[in-house]
Amino acid sequence: MNETGSADVVVVGGGVAGLSAAVFTARHDLDTLVVDAGGSILRRNAHLENFPGFPAGINARLLLDLLREQIDRAGCEQLSAAVTQVSPTDEGFIVETADERITSQYVIAATKNEVGYLAGIDGVGIIDRGKTFVDVDDRGRTGVKGLYAAGRVAQKPHQAIVCAGHGAEVAVTLLEDNESPFYHDWVTPDGYFTDRERDLPPGCEEIDDSERQQREADSRGLLQKYLAEPHPDDQETHPSLDGETPTNN
């Protein structure tokens, strides 16, 4: 199979952990690709509770749509496919699907308990507790440089907000390992830094009041678009109950 693409970061899995990680790497101008087989377990949730910012809860499939909108606006690419193999190279990794062969410097595994695509990689510890997990340090690093794991596959609790937060932490860890300058990812009022004779930190920007109001209006309009009607997708359930092949993404 010939090489069909490249990225700085390939995120394997499109659940909350993978999508959260992709937001941070893409916003830091690393070319980021999310490869997702479409099996996020969150889609089975009837109504997501305990996710900060939604006091009455939120449709779980809608939350995933909003996260996909966010990574798209950050400049992240998306590919609907199942990753079959990740292979280390001298320059990074080769990520393979049935039809694609993608080179990358970094890989973030975020596929719940699916780890078959990591099989045979020397230095990757696989933990079997009835469910399979990837052995990582306290920042999501595996034993292979440039390969990380985020969310449930990294033994994080089965809570959406915990996995989302871990995805963000793993992405920031990747940026630190990339020797990127300390990354704030913060939008501030005009003059917040410069009026104190300080340079803007990497990832920060200052905006005036007009721009602030415009961004607020844009965010309200976007949320109104997504929340105006009930989510169109049917409620999903456990695959053993509807005859589908189980997935672990």
Return the CATH number at 177: 3.50.50.60
pLDDT tens digit sequence for 90-115: 999 999 999 999 999 999 999 988 99
pLDDT at 179: 86
pLDDT at 74: 94
Rounded to whole angstroms, what are the CA distances from 30 to 7, 11, 23, 146?
8, 12, 10, 14
| 3-state class (DSSP) for residue 91 | coil
- Dist. CA 34–CA 10, nearest whole Å: 6
Half-sphere exposure of residue 47: CA atoms within 13 angstroms, side-chain side: 5
Tokens standing for 112? 């719940």
Look at 19-23, 36-40, 189-193 and tell me which has the smallest mean pLDDT.
Answer: 36-40
Q: List phi, psi (to 5°) of 86.
A: -115, 130
3, pLDDT greater than 90: no
Mean pLDDT of the chain: 93
Tokens standing for 129? 């507790």
Indicate whether 203 belongs to any domain: no
Indicate whether 13 belongs to any domain: yes
Structural domains counted in the chain: 1
pLDDT tens digit sequence for 48-92: 999 999 999 999 999 999 999 999 999 999 999 999 999 999 999
Range of the domain at 105: 5-182
Give the model's confidence band at 2: pLDDT under 50 very low, under 70 low, under 90 confident, else very high: low
Q: Which are the contacts of 21, defined by CB distance < 8 A and separation ≥ 6?
A: 11, 108, 110, 150, 167, 168, 170, 171, 174
246, pLDDT greater than 60: no
pLDDT at 203: 82
pLDDT at 60: 96
pLDDT at 163: 97
SS3 content of the chain, % helix, strand, coil (to 5): 35, 20, 45
Q: What is the DSSP letter of 192?
A: T
State the average pLDDT over residues 2-17.
91
Most confident of 2-11, 39-48, 140-149: 140-149
144, pLDDT greater than 60: yes
- Dist. CA 17–CA 25, nearest whole Å: 13
pLDDT at 39: 79
Indicate whether 116 belongs to any domain: yes
pLDDT at 245: 53
Residue among 35, 70, 246, 78 nearest 168 (CA): 70
pLDDT above 90 covers a percentage of the chain that reads 83
How many other CB atoms sit within 10 Å of the CB of residue 183? 18
Do residues 202 and 24 touch, judged by C-beta distance below 8 A? no
Indicate whether 63 belongs to any domain: yes
159, pLDDT greater than 80: yes
pLDDT at 244: 56
pLDDT at 201: 87
Indicate whether 229 belongs to any domain: no
Indicate whether 212 belongs to any domain: no
242, pLDDT greater than 80: no
121, pLDDT greater than 80: yes
Give the model's confidence band at 23: pLDDT under 50 very low, under 70 low, under 90 confident, else very high: very high
pLDDT at 172: 94
Indicate whether 139 belongs to any domain: yes
Indicate whether 176 belongs to any domain: yes
State the average pLDDT over residues 9-27.
97
